[in-house]
Amino acid sequence: MKLLRIIFVTALLVAPCALLAQDNLNKDYFKLKGYLQGGFNVDDEGDNTFYLKRAVLTLSGDVYKKNESKFDYQLMVNMAGSPNILELWVRYSPIREFGMQLGQFKIPLTIENTDRSPTTIEMIEYSLPVEKLVRSGRDITGINTSGRDIGFKVFGSLFHQEHHSIVSYDIGLFNGNGTNRRDNDGRKDIIARIKVSPIRYLTIAGYYQHGTIKADHIEGSIVTRYGGGVSYDNNKVMVRSEYIGGQTGKFLSEGVYLTSGYWVTDKLMALGRADYFKLERDLKDREMFYTLGLVYTPWKNLRLQLNYTLKEFTSPVDKAYSSLFNFMATAMF
- The ranges of the chain with pLDDT < 50 are 1, 3-4, 7-26
Q: Which stretches of 198-267 are assigned E, i.e. beta strand?
A: 202-212, 222-233, 237-248, 251-263
Domains of the chain in start order, with CATH, are 2-332 (2.40.160.10)
| Whether 230 contacts 241, CB under 8 Å | yes
Contacts of 18 (CB under 8 A, 6+ apart): 25, 29, 63
Return the number of other C-beta atoms located less than 10 Å from residue 329's C-beta: 15
Whole-angstrom distance, CA of residue 226 vs CA of residue 228: 7
Confidence at residue 221, expressed as pLDDT on a 0 to 100 scale: 85
pLDDT of residue 4: 46
Q: What angle do CA 163, 168, 174 make, to 5 degrees?
A: 140
Dump pLDDT digits (tens) for 260-306: 999 999 999 999 999 999 999 999 999 999 999 999 999 999 999 99
